[in-house]
């Protein structure tokens, strides 16, 4: 098992493949782009089974990662082979980039669209004005990207500023118009079906999420790719100093300036956003890689003697090895005993409920639930932001959500609770209610229960 | 001279001139794909 969020998006796509619309028929806290992107895999999952549909999507996401690395390299190619090589390899092994592309997270396709837009804008000839259609298409790509992850709006603002300064106001307005068209194409069908719900879930609920207890230090650690190492703040400070030096070197090229503008805007957003998860750092991975490649290009271009070039090449190789180290020391996730659970659940009538859609996907019970008309809940925890928006009360003390969660879980003939327990998500009473439901199967740490009528959690 | 006319006068890239770029792309694709596969595999086999 890899990623809760990735499973949420796949389950939402499976819902859409069955005719259920996010916002109108089930809660979904992101723009709809990722649901649309995963629909082909969910449709495949209807034929070959969701475990395989999910695996196909995961393999495709690896491919998106490889494509993104090549796009970084392609953007940097005009600055020379060393810049293209360093930037592409940096992105290939940079932990925040690898993390967002090792499971079906929405940051990966959003990064692809952003990179194609940056490629279009930065490859235009310097002597002639950039073609209007190129700016329009780049804007549209950025708009679609924001239709996958709403933070893409900040990237649009940053690129708009760069385009305005580099190519003038008319091109800037064209970029903005393109972004509007792109975002509209992705969002309008869903917005038309449930305008109030979509606005509330995607904007209001997200903005009113409580601020994470993970402070500036953890955010910076994740952004510089040191998540998996117990490296300490000194290492983070060194990495930041290298990044600042890289920015100074990178701004000498057009590609580098564009990357630095996007990097600074994205980085500022990441430091301000209320919640924090490690995959958020993926937003800065692509511009960081372009910045690093551009800086490498400046360095190698300035070297005059063979000895200096050799020294710089050695430093760059050593630097890439250091960048790859956190990736190799990562270890997370847990095996999921799908077969015995699916076997036991096969005889159950009705619906199987869960606090983590991974269970339904891996047991192929998601399709059965959808065929039986069961309520689709892809993100049970997310309801806490929608039921009681703006609250600073932790989920475990959010009484309306506790009631909702227990009522939903109890609606199943079988229930698998994997994510929440006493103190984390559940109140003591809710945890007690769940523990009181008879056990049908215990497989490792996973328990399949059959809910019975007991007192409500609170 | 139009854009297409000016492009027509440019020498067509040969396989030999494209080869370094293709090799670079292949190397980057291989490293990126394997890195994501390794992380996914680590996540799948490490007991939580």
Mutate to test the interface with B, among A7, A70, A99 (most CBs of B within 10 A): A70
Residue A330 has pLDDT above 90, yes or no: no
By CA distance, what is A98's nearest residue in B? Answer: B36
Neighbours of A355 (CB within 10 A): 23
Percentage of residues of chain A with pLDDT beyond 70:
95
DSSP characters over A323-357: HHHHHHT--------HHHHHHHHTT--S-EEES-H
pLDDT at residue A433 is higher than 90: yes
Q: Mean pLDDT over residues A418-444, rounded?
A: 90
Residue A210's pLDDT band (cuts 50, 70, 90): confident
Q: What is the mean pLDDT of residues A287-315?
A: 91
pLDDT tens for A392-404 read 678 888 899 999 9
DSSP A409-452: HHTSSEEE--S-EETBEE-HHHHHHHHTSPEEEEETTEEEE---
How high does pLDDT run on average in chain A? 92
ipTM over 0.85: no
| B42 neighbourhood in chain A, CB within 8 Å | 330-333
Q: Which residues of A touch B20 (CB under 8 A)?
A: 81
- The answer to whether the Cβ–Cβ distance between B44 and A103 falls below 8 Å is no
Count of other CB atoms within 10 angstroms of residue A420: 21
Residue A25, pLDDT > 60, answer yes
pLDDT at A304: 83
pLDDT in tens, B1-48: 344 444 445 667 777 777 888 899 999 999 999 999 888 877 664 433
Of B25, B36, B42, the CB nearest to A65: B36
Q: Give the one of A92, A102, A333 whose C-beta lies nearest to B31's C-beta.
A: A92
Percent of chain A with pLDDT over 90: 74
A184 to chain B, closest Cα gap in Å: 32
The one-character DSSP state at A278 is: G
Nearest CB neighbour to B36, from listed A62, A77, A335: A62
Cβ pair B37:A62 closer than 8 A: yes
Tell me the average pLDDT across A52-67. Answer: 96
Query: Of B25, B35, B47, which is closest to A98 when you measure between CB atoms?
Result: B35
Say what angle helices A33-48 and A107-122 make with each other, to 10 degrees.
130
Residue A271 has pLDDT above 60, yes or no: yes
List, as ranges, residues 1-48 from B with C-beta within 8 Å of A.
20-21, 24-25, 27-33, 35-40, 42-48
Residues of chain B contacting residue A79, judged by C-beta atoms under 8 Å apart: none
DSSP assignment string, A164-221: HHHH-HHHHHHHHHHHHHHHHHHHHHHHHH-HHHHHIIIIIHHHTSPPPS--HHHHHH
Flag the least confident range among A59-63, A168-172, A230-234, A271-275: A230-234
Neighbouring C-alpha atoms within 13 Å toward the C-beta of A254: 17
Contact A335 B47 (CB under 8 A): yes
Can you give the pLDDT at residue A129? 80
The whole-angstrom separation of Cα A225 and Cα A221 is: 6
């Amino acid at each position: 098992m890899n990623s809760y969020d990735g499973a949420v998006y796949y389950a939402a796509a499976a819902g859409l493949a069955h005719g259920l619309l996010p916002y109108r028929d089930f809660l979904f806290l992101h723009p709809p782009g990722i649901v649309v992107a995963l629909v082909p895999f969910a449709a495949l999952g209807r034929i070959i089974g969701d475990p395989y549909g999910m695996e196909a999507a995961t393999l495709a996401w690896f491919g998106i990662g490889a494509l993104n690395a090549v796009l970084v390299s392609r953007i940097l190619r005009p600055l020379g082979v060393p810049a293209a090589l360093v930037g592409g390899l940096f992105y290939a092994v940079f932990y925040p980039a690898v993390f967002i592309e090792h499971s079906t997270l929405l940051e990966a396709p959003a990064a692809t669209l952003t990179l194609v837009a940056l490629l279009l804008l930065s490859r235009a000839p310097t002597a002639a004005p950039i073609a209007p259609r190129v700016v329009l298409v780049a804007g549209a790509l950025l708009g679609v990207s924001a239709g996958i992850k709403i933070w893409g709006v900040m990237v649009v603002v940053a690129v708009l500023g760069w385009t305005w300064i580099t190519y003038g106001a008319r091109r800037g307005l064209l970029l903005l118009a393109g972004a509007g068209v792109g975002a509209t194409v992705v969002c309008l069908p869903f917005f038309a079906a449930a305008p109030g719900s979509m606005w509330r879930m995607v904007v209001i609920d997200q903005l009113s999420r409580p601020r994470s207890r993970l402070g500036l230090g953890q955010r910076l650690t994740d952004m510089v790719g040191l998540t998996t190492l117990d490296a300490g703040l000194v290492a983070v400070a060194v990495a930041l100093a290298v990044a600042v030096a890289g920015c100074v070197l990178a701004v000498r090229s057009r590609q580098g300036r564009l990357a630095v503008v996007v990097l600074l805007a994205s980085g500022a957003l990441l430091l301000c956003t209320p919640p924090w998860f490690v995959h958020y750092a993926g937003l800065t991975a692509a511009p960081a890689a372009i910045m690093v490649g551009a800086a490498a290009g400046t360095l190698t271009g300035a070297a005059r003697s063979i000895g200096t070039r050799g020294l710089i090449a050695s430093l760059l190789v050593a630097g890439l090895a250091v960048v790859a180290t956190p990736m190799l020391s990562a270890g997370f996730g847990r095996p999921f005993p799908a077969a015995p659970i699916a076997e036991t659940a096969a005889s159950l009538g009705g619906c199987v409920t869960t606090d983590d859609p991974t269970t339904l996907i891996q047991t192929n019970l998601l399709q059965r639930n959808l065929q039986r008309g069961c309520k689709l809940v892809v993100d049970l925890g997310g309801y806490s932001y929608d039921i009681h928006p703006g609250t600073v009360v932790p989920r475990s003390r959010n009484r309306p959500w506790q009631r909702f969660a227990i009522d939903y879980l109890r609606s199943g003939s079988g229930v698998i609770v994997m994510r929440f327990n006493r103190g984390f998500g559940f109140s003591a009473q809710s945890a007690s209610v769940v523990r009181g439901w008879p056990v049908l199967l215990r497989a490792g740490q996973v328990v399949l229960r059959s809910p019975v009528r007991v007192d409500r959690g609170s | 001279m139009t854009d297409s006319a000016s492009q027509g006068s440019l020498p067509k890239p040969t396989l030999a001139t494209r080869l370094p770029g293709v090799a670079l792309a292949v190397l980057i694709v291989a490293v990126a794909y394997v890195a994501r596969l390794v992380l996914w595999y680590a996540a799948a086999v490490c007991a939580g």
